[in-house]
Amino acid sequence: DTAVSQTPKYLVTQMGNDKSIKCEQNLGHDTMYWYKQDSKKFLKIMFSYNNKELIINETVPNRFSPKSPDKAHLNLHINSLELGDSAVYFCASRITLGPAGELFFGEGSRLTVL
């Protein structure tokens, strides 16, 4: 049973489209994150949720909208996709907000915008 699962794993779409990536964790964790990994492997935090509440919203265009229907799920919706949105998006979870707890990552969702 996968601890942190993301769907889809691969997504190819045209510029201007709207798409969603879903994330679910079955670990009973309170805190979830979205990270973006660019082509040079650099990993950057996008959002953090704790018990369904938004904690951190880094400098991310408002075309990106996270939603947490319950603490086991954190979905990412992207409007009006641009070429620069092409990346691998990782969902992660942690037992609680802090400190220094281990992050558990999903396998990533590779988004390609044409």
Partner 1 sequence: GDSVTQMEGPVTLSEEAFLTINCTYTATGYPSLFWYVQYPGEGLQLLLKATKADDKGSNKGFEATYRKETTSFHLEKGSVQVSDSAVYFCALESGGSYIPTFGRGTSLIVHP
The residues binding partner 1 (CB under 8 A) are 4, 31, 33, 35, 40-45, 48, 55-56, 90, 92, 97-100, 102-108
The type of residue at 23 is C
Q: How far is the CB of 94 from partner 1 (least distance, A)?
A: 9
Nearest distance from residue 104's CB to partner 1, in Å? Answer: 8
What length does the chain have?
Answer: 114
Decide whether 18 or 107 has the Cβ nearer to partner 1. 107
Q: Write out the two tokens for 78.
A: 């992207």
CB of 16 or CB of 64, closer to partner 1: 64
Please enumerate in sequence order all residues whose Cβ is within 8 A of that of 45, keeping only pairs 6 or more positions apart, or say none: 33, 34, 35, 56, 58
Q: Is the peptide bond before 8 cis (omega within 30 degrees of 0)?
A: yes
In the complex, least distance from residue 19 CB atom to partner 1, rounded to whole angstroms:
20
Q: Which CB atom, from 18 or from 75, has the smaller least distance to partner 1?
A: 75
Number of Cβ within a 10 Å radius of residue 108: 17
Minimum distance of partner 1 from residue 101's CB (angstroms):
9
Q: Closer to partner 1 at the Cβ: 44 or 63?
A: 44
Angle at CA of residue 75, ends 73 and 77, nearest 5°: 170
